[in-house]
Amino acid sequence: MSARHVTVPAFAKINLGLRILYKRPDNYHELRTVFQTISLQDSLALSFEPSVETVVRIDGTPEIADNLVDRAARAVLSHLGRNGTVHCVLKKRIPSGAGLGGGSSDAAAVLLALPFLMGEAVPMTTLSALGAKLGSDVPFFLYGGTALGLGRGEELYPLPDFPAQNGLLVTPPVHSSTPEAYKALSAGLTSFSLQNKLDGFQQEVWSGVPAADGNDFESVVFDRHPELRGIKDSLLGSGASFSAMSGSGSSVFGFFSSAGGAKLAAAELGDYPAHLFELVSRADYRRVWAEALGISGAIQNQTIGMEWPPQNPHE
């Protein structure tokens, strides 16, 4: 049998709010967040061919150690009890270590696309379980759009689409350590702050309006990297209606009333890398995937969407 191949997107995410509540007995932190997919994306060309032994080859830009793409491919093959040669060509556009979930999104793309190539139907509950073992953000990227994340972020609930925005994402060459950020935050977690955070976060979710101080990581990361606070202040000073750091950093984003306003704000930032972006709804997420997989006719309409996870109609 000849190899089957497909090229699919792997979208980045931002956090519209992120509250760290407490450290759990399993050493993870309990959190509350609102995930949102954005138009910035990696590209993943994937092929599969049955073979006697499992081989996973990854050509990437740049090469990534302990690549989640490799682990995701092997997880799918192991679950299905199949061997095969999987070849991935990964074109990275999402900056690594910026709080944008690029590696997790790449892994989710493999979890969705590889069963499709193999002609296998894997239920979403199984894909989510496989994804959660790879990383806390991976399950979200199996769905896209706007979603509430609980627990480590792997417990997901769909939310109404966040209103369309003209976004500007700034990705400075700053490394923000997630373990160090969690450690610094843990010292200030109290029962009093917990209840306040829960009350505030609930109001944000119900109103659909993120708080100006809605990312708890900013309080410790900005102290260590004051240039990130400067970027947020610059975006707000340039007319952003809202600005925040994504995840534990180091990317900072802002929403503007027009694309022109976002471009002017980018010019004010000097040499910092900046990307214009749009929000990607769950329906658009599925539409783009349907087009990539060549099954656009499976979409009933923009609201209902296609069968999910996508199934190969030729199998």
Could you give the residue numbers annotated as active site?
13, 137
For 13, 84, 85, 88, 107, the CA distances from 55, given in Å and listed in that order, are 30, 6, 5, 11, 17
Residue 310 has φ and ψ, to the nearest 5°, of: -65, 135
Q: How far apart are CA 219 and CA 187, in angstroms?
A: 12
SS (H, E, C) 168-215: EEECCCCCCCHHHHHHHHHCCCCHHHHHHHHHHHHHHHHHCCCCCCCE
